[in-house]
């Protein structure tokens, strides 16, 4: 793949990740438990991870977190999304390295760890451990959304050919 093509592709993936984040922020929360969300942006990150590589996916994820915070967020929301993104990305890489899991397994691990990262950051920022109470619900939602995002990503990774 030529350098120019790669730059264009990466920009498109980063743009998609941002757009998906934005779309998701417009959807009203379904439950009263904070932190439950679909994780649509992970589709773009998963796609980049499998199609373009680890470093590229890391760049897409980092660009999304920084730009979304600058455009729509605050310092606090930046810290939450950073904690979730860093932990989930690290675990997704590990799970993928093990070579036992398909895209769905990687995405489930990512979804669950995103929620764990955010809860951990909330515990640090609020200096309280009472929010651990939310963890079982977040594990549950992370697993379910992880499956949905994983199946979607797997389809896209399989169907979209990049030369």
- Nearest to another protein of 14, 121 (CB atom): 121
CB of 140 to another protein, least distance (A): 4
Q: Is residue 134 within 8 Å of 95, Cβ to Cβ? A: no
Please spell the DSSP secondary structure of 33-65, one letter per residue: STT----THHHHHHHHHHHT-HHHHHHHHHHHH
Rg (CA), the chain: 15
CB of 31 to another protein, least distance (A): 9
CB of 41 to another protein, least distance (A): 18
132 near another protein, rule: CB under 8 A: yes
120 near another protein, rule: CB under 8 A: no
Q: Report the candidate in 23, 28, 27 with the shortest Cα–Cα distance to residue 41.
A: 23
Among 23, 94, 133, 155, binds another protein (CB under 8 A): 133
160 near another protein, rule: CB under 8 A: no
104 near another protein, rule: CB under 8 A: yes
32 near another protein, rule: CB under 8 A: yes
Please spell the DSSP secondary structure of 74-128, one letter per residue: -HHHHHHHHHHHHHHHHHHHHHHHHT---HHHHHHHHHHHHHHHHHHHHHHHHT-
1 near another protein, rule: CB under 8 A: no
7 near another protein, rule: CB under 8 A: no
């Amino acid at each position: 793949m030529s350098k120019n093509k790669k730059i264009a592709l990466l920009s498109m993936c980063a743009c998609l990740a941002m757009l998906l984040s934005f779309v998701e922020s417009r959807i009203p929360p379904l439950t009263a438990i904070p932190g439950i969300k679909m994780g649509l942006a992970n589709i773009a990150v998963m796609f980049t991870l499998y199609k373009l590589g680890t470093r590229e996916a890391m760049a897409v994820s980092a660009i999304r977190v920084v730009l979304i915070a600058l455009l729509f967020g605050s310092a606090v929301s930046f810290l939450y999304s950073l904690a979730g993104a860093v932990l989930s990305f690290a675990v997704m890489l590990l799970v993928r390295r093990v070579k036992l899991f398909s895209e769905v397994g990687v995405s489930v691990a990512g979804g669950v760890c995103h929620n764990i990262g955010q809860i951990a950051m909330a515990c640090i920022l609020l200096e309280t451990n009472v929010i651990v109470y939310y963890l079982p619900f977040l594990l549950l939602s992370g697993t379910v959304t992880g499956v949905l995002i994983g199946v979607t990503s797997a389809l896209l990774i399989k169907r979209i050919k990049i030369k």
